[in-house]
Amino acid sequence: MNVKETIQLLKSDKAAALMAEFYGKEGAAANEARYERVLTGFEQEFGDTGDILLFSSPGRTEISGNHTDHNHGKVLAGSINLDCVGAAARNQSDLVHIISETYDQDITIDLNQLEPSAKKAGTADLIKGLLKGFKESGCRIGGFDAYVTSNVISAAGVSSSASFEMLLCSMLNTFFNEGRMDNVAYAHIGKYSENVYWDKASGLLDQMACAVGGLITIDFAEPSSPRVEKIDFDFGSQDHSLIIVQTGKGHADLSADYSSVPNEMKKVARFFGKEVLAQVAEEQVIEHLEKVRAYAGDRSVLRALHFFEENKRVEEEVKALKEGRFEDFLRNITASGNSSWKWLQNCFTASACQEQGITIALALTELFIAEKQRGACRVHGGGFAGVIMAMLPNDLTDEYIKYIEGCLGEGCAYRMSIRPYGAVCVNELLK
């Protein structure tokens, strides 16, 4: 289909229904216009090739399972109504040409030159890593042009990079692999790219949640084939909204803080001759506590205890959602947040203890919840700086957003919903 035909397709009743599923009824019209802008942008940059396809890949929210995936634990996560959207077409060359409207980037990658740069940073290296990951997986790659835009909040714990990665994986799968690859393969390729081409010790959580879509629980006990289960639950049915609050970017270099969490958990596992905590029982740690503390240190032990209890909470939350016990689910969200704050200790960095955006936001939100006697909150994502999550009744959300933005700055709060689709070729859904 050419640009004009695709724009006509977007005006169909089926497309309107899909936009409502992606973005909610209130966001459908604005996003239809957004897709049209992407198509027009593609046409202006690359011409109208006549075989253009549209793609979408969501950001993600972590509901529970804070810092568990890297030690083969369990998580509850969901794709959100913010996404990375692209128009793309094969170009019959050995060049991948991507223009990002959002970040004002124009990147061309030669398929014959996929070695990472010396810096191992930036979008170009990430794209090279994805292409190399496809080749290493025995999949085909080829040249294509893409015009991309994203409203996934950057540096806010909703995985803007993973959303972009999964978008490109969907393009490569559709154009060159007849759609044979599954979402788990996407996630592994995204992880490979970040691990090898960014030297970032990422797990699979971000990529899996963006790729699969909907509300999902993941058990990473076997990371090469994680067990993924979709949970049929809509927070809107409980008259609740998910709100992400951006607390401000920390000024400290947090690389060491992020790395310390999996490393310290794994050090406790090594005491028992194991690689990750999922291979150890909580009772073993408690039984040998004195020796484990001497070997790994007290913070490592606390982080290990968080891991074990957080896995149990994920199980309890999934069960509560399935059984319609929403208040029990919210209580476990609060417990998860408290554990991250007290045991995992990822709400601020000890290297800059006077800078505590997350803990300030949590304290303010807890005061609000205590007054209203409804809702829950917790740190969101990696922590140390960044964002928190609040889950509140819809009749309180406007009041809360006004309150928290009055304290932390206008535009810091984002109301989100869970969308049912992960990384997809939109045209396939409109057939």
Average pLDDT in the 48-52 region? 87
Residues 228 and 346 in one domain: no
Average pLDDT in the 296-324 region? 97
Predicted local distance difference test score (pLDDT) of residue 202: 77
Residues 60 and 144 in one domain: yes
Residues 114 and 101 in one domain: yes
Q: Domain of 355?
A: 235-416
Residues 267 and 175 in one domain: no
| Sign of the Cα pseudo-torsion (94, 99, 100, 104, in order) | positive
Predicted local distance difference test score (pLDDT) of residue 232: 87
CATH number, position 15: 3.30.230.10
Predicted local distance difference test score (pLDDT) of residue 116: 96
Banded pLDDT at 223 (limits 50, 70, 90): confident
Does residue 15 register a pLDDT over 80? yes
Average pLDDT in the 349-373 region? 95
Average pLDDT in the 299-316 region? 98
Tokens for 165?
């990665």
How many H-runs (helices) and E-runs (strands) does the chain carry? 15, 12
> Which tens digit of pLDDT belongs to each residue from 369-382?
999 999 999 999 88
Does residue 340 register a pLDDT over 80? yes
Does residue 204 register a pLDDT over 90? no
Predicted local distance difference test score (pLDDT) of residue 153: 80
Average pLDDT in the 302-312 region? 98
Which residues, in sequence order, are CB contacts of 288 under 8 Å at separation 6+?
A: 271
Residues 161 and 33 in one domain: yes
Average pLDDT in the 15-32 region? 93
Banded pLDDT at 251 (limits 50, 70, 90): low
Q: Which of 63, 66, 64 is nearest to 343 (CA)?
A: 66
Predicted local distance difference test score (pLDDT) of residue 42: 97
Average pLDDT in the 139-161 region? 89
Does residue 88 register a pLDDT over 70? yes
Predicted local distance difference test score (pLDDT) of residue 423: 97
> Which tens digit of pLDDT belongs to each residue from 106-134?
999 999 999 999 999 999 999 999 999 99
Average pLDDT in the 267-273 region? 98
Q: Tell me how many domains the chain contains.
A: 2
Residues 147 and 201 in one domain: yes
Predicted local distance difference test score (pLDDT) of residue 94: 97
Predicted local distance difference test score (pLDDT) of residue 35: 97
Banded pLDDT at 200 (limits 50, 70, 90): confident
pTM: 0.88
> Which tens digit of pLDDT belongs to each residue from 225-250?
889 999 988 777 889 999 999 998 77
Residues 205 and 240 in one domain: no
Residues 175 and 295 in one domain: no
Q: Which of 228, 245, 292, 189 is nearest to 78 (CA)?
A: 228
Q: Report the chain's mean pLDDT, rounded to a whole number.
A: 94
Enumerate the β-bridge partners of residue 376: 391
Residues 380 and 298 in one domain: yes
Average pLDDT in the 208-218 region? 92
CATH number, position 403: 3.30.70.890
Residues 260 and 217 in one domain: no
> Which tens digit of pLDDT belongs to each residue from 386-431?
899 999 999 999 999 999 999 999 999 998 888 899 999 999 999 8
Taking each helix axis from N to C terminus, what angle separates 25-46 and 3-10, rounded to the nearest 10 degrees?
Answer: 180
Residues 207 and 249 in one domain: no
- The percent of residues in the chain predicted with pLDDT above 90, rounded, is 83
Predicted local distance difference test score (pLDDT) of residue 154: 76
Residues 392 and 324 in one domain: yes
Cα 360 to Cα 40, 245, 281, 340, 371, distances in angstroms:
43, 11, 34, 15, 17
CA separation for the pair 405, 412 (Å, rounded): 6
**DSSP label at 253?**
-
Predicted local distance difference test score (pLDDT) of residue 83: 96
